[in-house]
Structure formats: structure tokens, C-alpha cells
Amino acid sequence: MFNEMDRILDSMFDNSHSFGRVGSLTTRHPSVDIRENEAGYILEAELPGLTQEDIDITLEDGVLHLSQSSKGSGDSNAGETEQQEQTKPAERYLLRERNRAEINRSFVLPKDVDQAKVQARFAHGLLILELPKQEKALPKKISISAE
């Protein structure tokens, strides 16, 4: 049944040199792990094929936003605009399965996160955010003055 559906869809996009359908703009939600320890929280997001420059991290009103808006992971034309891609005279896609994608994830942070001390690092397709907890306020001794 699925083979028949693929055949019908392929015939709709029939081109004598075509191998299949062309990818489209989509939204991806990267896989994320969040752990907690005494010092804080650790958020790890899988972002394969991206570079540090592709990733935007913002923190606003206790909400952490991860985003990226460019070509999909591993795309050899990652730095090109749609117009530049279309104006290449001797090149066109015969098969395109790697979709262009926009990454967008948001996380409401626990109230005990010290937002001023959040740190991020990125290596081998893994974004690691360290979200330290605020130091607990110690009780303050208040002395009574004599009149």
C-alpha cells in the first residue's frame, strides 16, 4: 500500500531525471535530556550537523529558547540563500531527503535557576547548557538594639 502511495506521489512530480520528492521547510524538535544534581540542572540537546554559529540561545522571563533557522543538518549548501540555490545554472536536485528545517524549543526554567550564571558549550553536535541553582539565602541574625 505504501509503495503504491509513493508511486502515485512520484508520478505527480514526474520528471524524467527525478528520483523522488524534494524536501521542504519543516520544524524540528531536537532530542533533549535534562538532569538535576545538587549544583543545578544540565540540559543536553542533540543538534547534529550544526555549528556553534547556527544556534541561538535566549533567556527571557524564565524561559530558555533554543532556535536555528537555516538549511537542514549536513546540507552542503548551508550558507546559501534560496535565491542563490535556484540560480545555479548547471545543478539541480535529483533526490533530496535532507530537509531544510527550523529548530525551535522552549523550556520554562525552575525558579531556583540562577539565570545570570547559565553557561553553554557545543561540541560534536551536542549542545550542553549548565543551569546552576541559586545559592540559598542563609538566615540573618538580627540584633536588638537597646534604647
* pLDDT averaged per 10 residues, the chain (length 147): 59 45 62 95 93 93 85 47 62 79 89 96 96 85 88
The per-residue pLDDT for 85 is 57
What domains lie within the chain, and their CATH numbers?
2-73+96-132 (2.60.40.790)
Instruction: Give the global pTM.
Output: 0.63
The per-residue pLDDT for 73 is 44
The per-residue pLDDT for 76 is 44
User: What is the DSSP annotation of the chain?
Assistant: -HHHHHHHHHHHT--TT--SPBP--EEE---EEEEE-SSEEEEEEE-TT--GGG-EEEEETTEEEEEEEESPTT-TTTT--HHHHHT-TT---S-B-S--EEEEEEEEPPTTB-GGG-EEEEETTEEEEEEEBPPPPPP---PPPP-
The per-residue pLDDT for 108 is 95
Parallel, antiparallel, or unpaired for β 119-123 and 101-108? unpaired
Matching residue, cell 549542545: 127
| Rounded to 5°, angle at Cα 35 from 33 and 39 | 145
8 A C-beta contact, residue 22 and residue 82: no
